[in-house]
Structure 1
């Protein structure tokens, strides 16, 4: 591994996170095509081995997480060592394990941007997280609670519901369909939620529009196809439907997200949930598990 350049860091990696985008990129089905040869992985955690002369935010020996490297770069986190720009690296507190550190990056920054940046959640609001048992959803629950919101989360499996409850959700329900919309209203004194964080818009957006409160905000974080909606609901509710893709952020916004996440880590209001970890030689199984949705929480690969 080469000596880091002036703004780079050499890290001994102990764990790497697996994101859906990693799988899509590796199969050639993602919008961004990597330069070859290519090592997957945008997130990870480990110990700083060397730093470039201009790096000031971390030092040799620091326990750090790597947060959402630019997609398509040749060197990824599914490796024992990595050289990357120092701006993507931030120290992790002692109470956060390397596996948890690898569960930050894309999930934590996505959750923070959805809840804080796009939805602008305020204390006292009700936030409905539609699909809360995944890596992003569980951290979105924790961030919304840290802001003082009431949180209603959904999951499909009992194990997922338990994780959503442990993350701090006030109410945990099955995924909501048109015939079960009243469950959300009953859990919120007959009122619709002020904010909905949506992870499968192609199935749920029409239902979300029916239950959102007037002047509410729906943030679409995930989608896997098309859906027919009635725009009249948007008119009647005067609600906002906002899209979100993490890789749209500027370098300045990326730093703001990292620092926002870091504050919640320090205060122990954010504790990433690792659903399952695989050894490096079984990374293929980890990729399969992510696409099939086999585990709640974050799937990580142990790299040492």
Structure 2
């Protein structure tokens, strides 16, 4: 079995394609032959240092994966051999206080594929059956793999945390990234008005083609001022962002009184000015969000199929071309998901 393995921490020189043994399925697990996976920023983080994440090397990379069921328990009723499936990357304990109340994304013993344990960038993987879900029928393997991190994260932000309503206006920062693109598509599907930002005109044009109502070039325009112009001075009901420090001030200033800001990342820094006076005077809500629960994953997949939502794929590589895929992930001009297709024997 071929897999993509981190052997140390550094650059692409620590990432290897290795031959190894196919995993053995344990009771309660499903053996999946992976056909495709998509890359996430955390893959770069694990390659570079993995600081703060408990893990052992060598480690198989990858959180996202979609493929075909090869083996299941004889009494498995939900999944069948030969079925096309997508994997939820979070292995929760099922017993802590958060799991017991249905908030398994907050599990105190959470293990994430590709971070704490071997991940999806392999020709086969065996995971608990509760982490395996039928693929939406309209998606191919590469598109389905994108559901695991970006779309699940965006789903929780848009629906569970922000609870976006059809009559509201939503501002999405950095629309070239996977989570932001997913959030734009999901928010748009509710009927909400969606405004997006990017520093690149071509990304803004693509976002408009995909359904965004207005687009703001954050390199040449002052975002908060432009938002107020577009909303007749009112501001937006919801901000979706994962950039952090670089956009924080603009994000807060763009909100209507009582508005909600949902954040899931801090790629530009995690210590912005708090602007506490603005928060309490305007009664703003600042909401953190990470990943999503198993129940949210199932609901999202059903919703995506029903609404015909299709992830944007920037580029695709073979497993052997993982270095090029990682380089593309780091490139600032990409739009959508970078993926890899695997060819199992």
TM value normalised by structure 1:
0.91
Q: Structure 1: give runs of 5+ residues left out of the alignment.
A: none
1:212 aligned to 252, 255, 258, which one? 255
Q: Find the counterpart in structure 2 of residue 282 from structure 1.
A: 321
Q: Find the counterpart in structure 1 of residue 33 from structure 2.
A: 12
Question: How far off its partner does 1:54 sit?
Answer: 4.9
Matched, 1:267 2:288: no
Separation in structure 2 between the aligned mates of residue 29 and residue 73 of structure 1, nearest angstrom? 10
Question: How far off its partner does 1:3 sit?
Answer: 4.0
The alpha-carbon distance between structure 1 residues 179 and 258, as it changes in their structure 2 partners (threshold 3 A), is closer
Q: Find the counterpart in structure 2 of residue 131 from structure 1.
A: 174
Question: How far off its partner does 1:83 sit?
Answer: 1.2
Other structure's SS at 1:21 match:
helix
The alpha-carbon distance between structure 1 residues 30 and 168, as it changes in their structure 2 partners (threshold 3 A), is farther
Separation in structure 2 between the aligned mates of residue 187 and residue 44 of structure 1, nearest angstrom? 39
**Residue correspondence of structure 1 range 75-90 to structure 2 within 5 A:** 75-90=118-133
Note the alpha carbon deviations across 1:200-246, whole angstroms, 9 max, x for none. Answer: 11111111111210000001122031222422111221101112222
Contact 1:220/1:244, CA 8 A, preserved across alignment: yes
Q: Find the counterpart in structure 1 of residue 78 from structure 2.
A: 57
Separation in structure 1 between the aligned mates of residue 116 and residue 73 of structure 2, nearest angstrom? 19
Contact 1:199/1:221, CA 8 A, preserved across alignment: yes
**Residue correspondence of structure 1 range 1-304 to structure 2 within 5 A:** 1-69=22-90, 70-71=111-112, 72-175=115-218, 179-224=222-267, 225=269, 226-246=271-291, 254-304=293-343
Q: Structure 2: give runs of 5+ residues left out of the alignment.
A: 1-21, 91-110
Separation in structure 2 between the aligned mates of residue 39 and residue 211 of structure 1, nearest angstrom? 41
Contact 2:199/2:219, CA 8 A, preserved across alignment: no
Note the alpha carbon deviations across 1:82-129, whole angstroms, 9 max, x for none. Answer: 111122211113320111011110101100011111111112010100
Other structure's SS at 1:214 match:
strand
Question: How far off its partner does 1:75 sit?
Answer: 2.5
Aligned-residue Cα RMSD (Å) equals 1.9
Q: How many residues were matched structurally? A: 298
Contact 1:115/1:143, CA 8 A, preserved across alignment: yes
Separation in structure 1 between the aligned mates of residue 279 and residue 202 of structure 2, nearest angstrom? 34
Contact 2:154/2:183, CA 8 A, preserved across alignment: yes
Other structure's SS at 1:143 match:
helix
